[in-house]
Amino acid sequence: MSLFSSDSPYDPFPKDIPRGLVIALIVACLLMGLASLRHGTDLQGWLNVIENWLLMLVVFPTATAVVALPFKYRDPTFELKLAYYLGMFVALLFTLAKLRYWR
């Protein structure tokens, strides 16, 4: 059995969402993080890119999953992976709004 096979508990993809959709969300977050390079490609620009990636791929999704922990406690069939990817989608929407209004 492979580490990331579909029947493994370590599979990063939820059962109810297509893998391509999750991969597209991750790629969209990575590409949106590169939008900070519009101010320049010096060290400050790359630090802004890393900050955006951390916000979109770690901070917002983890906070959403932590808030969803009581649902997991109440219903053992609840997948925290879904809450994590919901947080990633919310972070993507937040970044879109940030790019629109914070010039």
Confidence class of residue 6 from pLDDT cuts 50, 70 and 90? Answer: low
Nearest to 56 by CA among 86, 29, 78: 29
The answer to whether the pTM exceeds 0.75 is yes
| Of residues 49 and 13, more confidently modeled | 49
Share of the chain above pLDDT 90, in %: 50
Amino acid found at 65 = A
pLDDT at 37: 85
Hey, where are the domains in the chain? 19-101
Angle at 19 between CA 52 and CA 76, to 5 degrees: 90
Q: Which tens digit of pLDDT belongs to each residue from 67-78?
A: 999 998 999 888
